[in-house]
Structure formats: structure tokens, C-alpha cells
Amino acid sequence: MGGSYPAVLGLALALFAVTTAAGIHVAPASYAAVLTGAGLVALHESKLPYRSDWRPSPQDVRADVSFMLAVQVALPLLLSFLAVIAIADVLEDAGVAVDGLWPHGQPIAAQAVLMLVLADLLRYWLHRAFHRYDSMWRFHAVHHSPHRLYWVNVGRFHPIEKAIQFGTDALPFVLLGVGGEALAAYFVFYAVNGFYQHSNCDVRLGPLNHLVSGPELHRWHHSMLPAESDSNFGNNLIVWDTLFGTRYFPARRQVGPLGLLNRDYPPGFLAQMRTPFAAGLDKAHADEETR
């Protein structure tokens, strides 16, 4: 069970490397690798689930597919297009050159690893801020609203939060002029790890739990109890949580109920476009523990 995670991730990255080496453009090559990884994660989840009661309902699937298409596919493409145009104009007008700040001469794998480490540091602190400040938590509560985890709900983010995330895990590297192949390699790791991270796959990652933010660790981040969910903030890696004291992985105990303390938080896609603007909706009922 522990070998499936590195095998699927390795296969997706190898597929990306082979297809780009064959001259295929990085965009279709990266999407082919990600879709292959997604299919294998879904197969693992169906054959070896961690919890049988975490199988999604049709209503869950409809909402999460809507989030995936609108927030994880369409919005990043739009933001990337607008950001590249705007940044190119600003830098040209200012006469600023940033090419020398990124190790373009290093192998693509080394550049992708460097981006992974740096982007995760930025996302770590952003993620902690989304948990700490009420005005930010209202948006992040959308991501914490599911009562079960499965691979598709990795995409359940409010578009305003997703746009802010773009400013930490993509925009700085666009500013540095990171090449498309390195960005795409990072995207493949980011996407396939995310599918596994939120999956209902029964895995035992062992020592890898000290390096990556995989499903065993991330389930605790989705615990209904704030004392447990305010931990494991790493987006892809867990090393920053270890360094800053927020890694949480209790031995010989499984995570309890997931989701928000308010069990009546609306679950649908359109409803959750509005929920961050309803003050207190993300909180517990008056007679329950509050965040």
C-alpha cells in the first residue's frame, strides 16, 4: 500500500519527461501526466479505500467537479494569462531584468525541486494566515467543509482564495522568469500529490511522512476539531511544518469526523460562492466549541 504513492507520482513525472523529450509541448504533456495520475489515484481509491463511509454521494461529485473545472482549471489559466501580460508590460516599462535571479542553467528536475521548496514555504505561511484571521478563514472554510475526503475534492476552494494562492505559488516564479518546462514539472507534482493528499486511498507512507504532505498527515488537517486541524499546513511538503512545530501525526489513532463544527454549512457549489460573505456561517452553533 505504501508503494503506490511514489509509484504513481514517479510514473506521472516520467511520462511528462518522456513526452517533453519527444518534442510534445509542455501543456499537453503535463495534462496527460496529471490525468494519468488522477486515473490511477481514482482506481486505488475504488479498490483499496481508507474508509468505506467516505465514498462520495452524487451531490458531492457534482459540486466537486464544478469546483475542479471552475476554480482549478479555468481560473488559473485566466490568471496566468493576465499576469504574464501585465507583468511583462510593467517590467519592460521599468527596465527591470530578473533573469539572473533564477538558475535557468540547472536541470529541469533541479529547478522544479527548488520551486517546490520555495513555493511550499510561501504557501505554508499563507495557509497559516487563512486559519488565523477570521476574514481569511471564512474563504478557507469552503475547503474544510466536506465531511469526507476523496480525490476530486482537492479542488474545493473559493475562487478568491485560489486567486490569492496564485500570488504565492505561481506569480513569484513568473516574475523570476522560470521556464515553462520547470513550471509544468512542478504542476505535475503539485496536482498528483494533491489528488493523493485528499484521496480516500489506504496508504502507509512510512518515512515519506517526514518529507511529503500526504494523505495520512492531511486527514488530520481536515479534522472537525480545530486543535487538530490547525496543523500540517504544508501544501506539498511537510518539512516546513516540522521546522516550525506544526506537524501533527498522532500514533495508533485514526482521525475522527471531518469538516466544520457547523454541520449545517451549505455544501453546494453556488451556495459556497456566497458562504464567505455570511458572517459566522463558518463557525459552530452557539452551544458548541468555537474556533
Q: Read off the pLDDT of residues 92-118 as tens digits, 9 standing for 90 and up.
A: 455 555 667 789 899 999 999 999 999
| Length of the chain measured in residues | 291
Residue 283 scores a pLDDT above 90: no
Q: Please state, in angstroms and rounded to a whole number, the distance separating the CA atoms of residues 100 and 122.
A: 21
The residue assigned the cell 498527515 is 217
Mean of per-residue pLDDT scores for the chain = 88
Q: Per-residue pLDDT tens for 65-101?
A: 999 988 888 777 666 655 655 665 555 455 555 667 7
Q: Please state, in angstroms and rounded to a whole number, the distance separating the CA atoms of residues 286 and 65.
A: 33
How is residue 94 written as a grid cell? Answer: 521599468
- The one-character DSSP state at 223 is B
Global pTM? 0.89
pLDDT of res. 90: 59
Q: Please state, in angstroms and rounded to a whole number, the distance separating the CA atoms of residues 64 and 44.
A: 19
Best CA proximity match to 37, nearest among 1, 9, 16: 9
Residue 289 scores a pLDDT above 70: no
| pLDDT confidence tier of residue 130, bands split at 50, 70 and 90 | very high
Q: Per-residue pLDDT tens for 237-272?
A: 999 999 999 999 998 899 999 999 999 999 999 999
Q: Where are the domains of the chain?
A: 58-194+209-277
Residue 177 scores a pLDDT above 50: yes
pLDDT of res. 171: 81
pLDDT of res. 174: 80
Q: What is the DSSP string of 139-160?
A: HHHHHH--SS--GGGGG---HH
How is residue 88 written as a grid cell? Answer: 511583462
